Chain A
Amino acid sequence: AQSVTQLGSHVSVSEGALVLLRCNYSSSVPPYLFWYVQYPNQGLQLLLKYTSAATLVKGINGFEAEFKKSETSFHLTKPSAHMSDAAEYFCAVSITGQGAQKLVFGQGTRLTINP
């Protein structure tokens, strides 16, 4: 069964520092992988997705993620953190069946940016 594990429920970085949020997946088939961001009292917003094209995926707000099959990882990075990046981030894998693309989410990582 497909699943994702996010290492670190809380990550804190200084403004301007590198952001690295870790995600490892388990899947018996080539996965579709996603990163979502959730701001307080708002819905989940798609940051980026991997669908078996390029292994380095660029998303919105300067984020990118690299799919590494050998490591079963899909870590999210941003070179320089902004205060506005403070939010909850979720990694997800898609399960396709019965016409649906159900998303299986990790537990989330709360990112705090220190001034």
Chain B
Amino acid sequence: GAGVSQTPSNKVTEKGKYVELRCDPISGHTALYWYRQSLGQGPEFLIYFQGTGAADDSGLPNDRFFAVRPEGSVSTLKIQRTERGDSAVYLCASSRGGEQFFGPGTRLTVL
């Protein structure tokens, strides 16, 4: 693939449910970032992976949020016990250490 892909593009869930959001980075990109963009706001950093390890998870809002990247490529952002305030567009970006290339995002709606 030419760019970063994210699935699903849209996810509607009910309060209290568990969701997983997937990011496929550009092949060969070792760095992977997750950001969250709430309505009318700029993206906010959540977590950064270098290879398989989460090097910086300081942006995760609480322990309901977790992300993995087990093989150093695809990453999954996991949200437990979703709340209405989790509704946002979740963006993934990858890089080789320089420019970050962003995916189209997953729009999460919690009813």
Contacts from A to B (Cβ < 8 Å)? 9, 36, 41-46, 49, 90, 92, 97-108
A90 touches B42 (CB 8 A): yes
Q: Which residue of A lies closest to B104 (CB)?
A: A43
Known: A100-B55, A102-B56. Is A43-B3 also a contact (CB below 8 A)? yes
B102 touches A45 (CB 8 A): yes
Chain A residues with CB under 8 A of B99: 46, 49
Chain A residues with CB under 8 A of B91: 43-44
B55 touches A41 (CB 8 A): no
Chain B residues with CB under 8 A of A108: 40-42
Interface residue SS majority, chain A? strand
Q: Which residue of B lies closest to A100 (CB)?
A: B48
Complex CA gap A107/B44 in Å reads 10
User: Which of A9, A43, A49, A104 is B102 in contact with, Cβ under 8 Å?
Assistant: A43
Complex CA gap A104/B35 in Å reads 10
Is B65 at the interface (CB under 8 A from chain A)?
no
Is B100 at the interface (CB under 8 A from chain A)?
yes
- The 0/1 profile, CB within 8 Å of A marked 1, for residues 11-44 of chain B is 0000000000000000000010101000011111
**Could you pull out 12 A-B pairs where Cβ atoms are within 8 angstroms?**
A36-B102, A44-B93, A46-B100, A49-B99, A92-B42, A99-B55, A103-B35, A105-B42, A105-B43, A105-B44, A107-B41, A108-B40
Complex CA gap A9/B42 in Å reads 11
B4 touches A43 (CB 8 A): yes
Complex CA gap A45/B93 in Å reads 11
User: Which of B50, B95, B104 is A42 in contact with, Cβ under 8 Å?
Assistant: B104
**Interface residues in B39-68 (C-beta closer than 8 Å to A):** 40-45, 48, 50, 55-56, 59
For the A-B complex with A9-B40, A100-B33, A105-B42 known, give 8 more contacts whose Cβ atoms are closer than 8 Å: A36-B102, A43-B3, A45-B102, A49-B99, A92-B42, A98-B55, A102-B59, A107-B40
